[in-house]
Structure 1
Amino acid sequence: MEREATLRLLMKLSIQLHLAGPLLSNTVRVLEDFGVERARSTVHNWVHKTDLQPESGRNPDHVAVDETVIRLDDEQYWLYAAVNPKSNELLHTKLEPTRTKVIASNFVRELREKHDVDNAVFLIDGNLLLQYACERHDLEFWYERHGDRNSVERIFCGIKRRTTSFSNCFSNAKATTADQWLKSFAFAWNQFI
């Protein structure tokens, strides 16, 4: 029996649909409307094999940064995110098993490697670890609880809304799988804003 290849356009549509919100089972039903039968695991694998990442080389004048808790089964991980508050574009994400000064500093270093943010003003809530990271990299930051920093909170709400389809956590997922899904989500988020 010969396997039938899925049209590239339908694969891209499936990936975009899944990252935009529908559950895998709903995405599979859309494929069935086009006469293509695929398992949920197949669509899941397409998303992870594409290795989608937010584009590099941005030059924002402000960057909102924050962290939030994401659950992987019974374990808690910290999702760090940087957002351009003017465009709501996700600039960088990183999933870590804990939160320390070193991890926050590495997140900011990676952000600097991907984007030209040395002259940007970083908008941070009361997070002392991210304030330390900005000081260590000699970056200007402002304490801001609301205003432009809310853009990162809106994105976190979107991510948490999406992870509720995984029972408010990534069930049976390894940290590398969840981190890859979050990077793919960031890519898709930037396409739809």
Structure 2
Amino acid sequence: MISECSMPEITRLSGGCDWIDLDFVERERTPRSAMKLGIQLHVAGLSLSNTISILDTLGVERSRKAVHDWVQKADLQLDGGATPEHVAVDESVIRINDQQYWLYAAVDPATNHFLHIRLFSSYTTALTEIFLRELREKHDVDDALFLVDDADWLQTALQRHGLDFRYERHGNRNSVERIFREIKRRTSSFSNCFSHVDPSTAETWLHTFAVWHNATN
């Protein structure tokens, strides 16, 4: 799925693997500790090839596909129940098989944690409303102040949901922009592009990345 990449976030591996749920495992021949380490290494910055090389030094011989499948089967999701005072919202382009997709993200500026992410094939007011509805189902954000850029579709969707928002170019909105830069840095080795995967596979990886990010910040 992913070609060789750098290791900008490996220093954050000391945080442990408690954020990884392996309930999907039934009769897996790989020790759970090795599976958690493989998922953590890959999401934190190692390529699949480098991840299996490290596992090999620990006496665990598995394929690149095995590590890829661990990430997909774990299907990690962000926790709900937050009550942020501010919510920074933005979208960024992610390429999948040479086609553009839009990654929507909502971030709590006070914690720099992801609240919700979604991958869409376009950016429209209707899709933005789906994103906001899902965000409201997961978290108590009705009284939050949304920090947005000048995207018309986003402001229109917020108005339709009766949510307060403020145009903010810098300030607290920098949190979501920093996180998007982190995603792009993490994917920079494959030109911010997922190859030979479908959108749902890419979105699962992005959800796993978001869970890891929250657990290590």
User: Into which bin does the TM-score normalised by the smaller protein fall?
Assistant: over 0.9
Does residue 60 of structure 1 match 2:79?
no
The list of structure 1 runs, each at least 4 consecutive aligned residues, that deviate by more than 6 angstroms after superposition, is none
Q: What is the DSSP-based 3-state SS (H/G/I as helix, E as strand, rest coil) of the residue aligned with 1:190?
A: helix
Paired with 2:32 and 2:154, the residues of 1 have a C-alpha distance of: 41
SS of aligned partner of 2:159: helix
What secondary structure, in the 3-state scheme, does the structure 2 residue paired with 1:95 have? Answer: strand
Q: For 1:184, which of 158, 183, 208 is the aligned residue?
A: 208
Over 3 Å counting, the alpha-carbon distance change for 1:192 and 1:4 in structure 2 is closer
How far the C-alpha of 1:133 sits from its partner, in A, is 1.3
For each residue in 1:98-127, what CA deviation from the matched residue of structure 2 results, as whole angstroms up to 9, or x when unmatched? Answer: 111100111111100011101110000111
Deviation for aligned residue 1:10: 1.0
- Does residue 141 (structure 1) correspond to residue 169 (structure 2)? The answer is no
Match of 2:4 in 1: none
Q: Which residue of 1 aligns with 2:39?
A: 15
1:105 alignment counterpart? 129
Q: What CA RMSD, in Å, does the superposition of the two structures yield over aligned residues? A: 1.3
How many residues are treated as equivalent by the alignment? 191
Deviation at residue 4 of structure 1 after TM alignment? 7.7
Kindly indicate whether residue 65 of structure 2 is the aligned counterpart of residue 45 of structure 1.
no
Percent identity over paired residues: 58
Q: 1:71-90, aligned counterparts within 5 Å?
A: 71-90=95-114
Counterpart-to-counterpart distance in 1, 2:154 and 2:205? 24
1:132 and 1:64 map into 2 onto residues whose CA distance is 16
Bigger Cα displacement from structure 2, 165-174 vs 101-110: 165-174
Does 2:146 match 1:122? yes
TM-score (norm 1): 0.96
C-alpha spacing 1:65/1:39, structure 2 compared with 1 (3 Å) = same
Length-normalised TM-score, structure 2: 0.85
- Please state if 1:169 is matched with 2:193: yes
Give the counterpart letter for 2:45 in structure 1.
Answer: G
